[in-house]
Structure formats: structure tokens, C-alpha cells
Amino acid sequence: MGVKETLTDVLQTNAAVEIMNEIVLHALQSSRDTCLDMREKLDGDRGTDHLSDREMKDWESLVLDIAALNRVIDYYGG
């Protein structure tokens, strides 16, 4: 059996699927953490009253992105 066939067989196992799920999960968590950091930089402990219109739109988008990422992370078992 050649290398290509061996890799194909390995990638079709449950272990390979679990590894890929873990990679995806960590990438999603990293993206969520980045969004959380960006949101924290915008609002800090001061709330959102001080934000410009553009910053407020960014903040709202970040909140929605964080919620969406949390749902996907929950789906993957995070």
C-alpha cells in the first residue's frame, strides 16, 4: 500500500475526524477570543455611551459574531 492510500485510509477513521473537530474547535475559540478582545477594547468598563456611530456598529457586529461563534463552538462540543 502506498503513502497516498495509507493517508486516505487514516483520514477516513473516527480518530481523524475527532482531530479535525478539535482543530476547528480551537480555531473557532481563537476567533471568538479575538472578537471578545476587540469588543473589550471598544467598551472597556465604560459601556457604549462614548462610542461613535461607526464604533457602535463595530461593537454591535462583534456582539453578534461572538454569539454566532458561541453557538458553533457549542455544536462542536466546546
The mean pLDDT of 61-74, rounded to a whole number, is 96
* CA separation for the pair 65, 78 (Å, rounded): 16
Higher pLDDT, 53 or 1: 53
What are the tens digits of pLDDT across the range 12-55? 788 778 888 889 999 999 999 999 999 999 888 787 788 899 99
Specify the length of the chain in residues.
78
Whether the predicted pLDDT of 10 surpasses 80: no
- Predicted confidence at residue 57, as pLDDT, reads 95
Helix, strand or coil for residue 76?
A: coil
- Predicted confidence at residue 1, as pLDDT, reads 66
* CA separation for the pair 18, 52 (Å, rounded): 44
Q: Whole-angstrom distance between the N-terminal and C-terminal Cα of the chain? A: 37
